[in-house]
Amino acid sequence: MHLILGSLLAGAVAGGSARKLAWRPVAKGLIKQGIRLQRSVMDLTAEVRAETNRLVTDARAELDGEPGEPIVEAAS
């Protein structure tokens, strides 16, 4: 994607046809890709957060359900 955009920019500057190049569709396409990427990252982080919450809930339930077991603390 970067190579394509760089080629378009270099061609526009070198050829003197910067006025003929339609910048709006290129910019709009880049913005749309950025929005898609943002949505994908947000979905992934939501899944990770949900799984982490389930793990914490399970760990707490196990600790609450097993009285009398010693709690091992990490050595400093």
Q: Give tens-digit pLDDT for 2-56.
A: 566 666 666 666 655 555 668 888 899 999 999 999 999 999 999 999 999 999 9
Predicted confidence at residue 23, as pLDDT, reads: 85
Of the CA atoms within 13 Å of residue 38, those in its CB half-sphere come to 6
- Tokens at residue 55, please? 């793990």
Predicted confidence at residue 43, as pLDDT, reads: 96
Residue 72: CB partners within 8 Å, gap ≥ 6? Answer: none
Q: Quickly state the pLDDT bin for 65 (edges 50, 70, 90).
A: confident
DSSP alpha helices (H): ranges in the chain? Answer: 2-15, 23-65
Chain centroid to Cα 49, Å, comes to: 13
Higher pLDDT, 69 or 39: 39
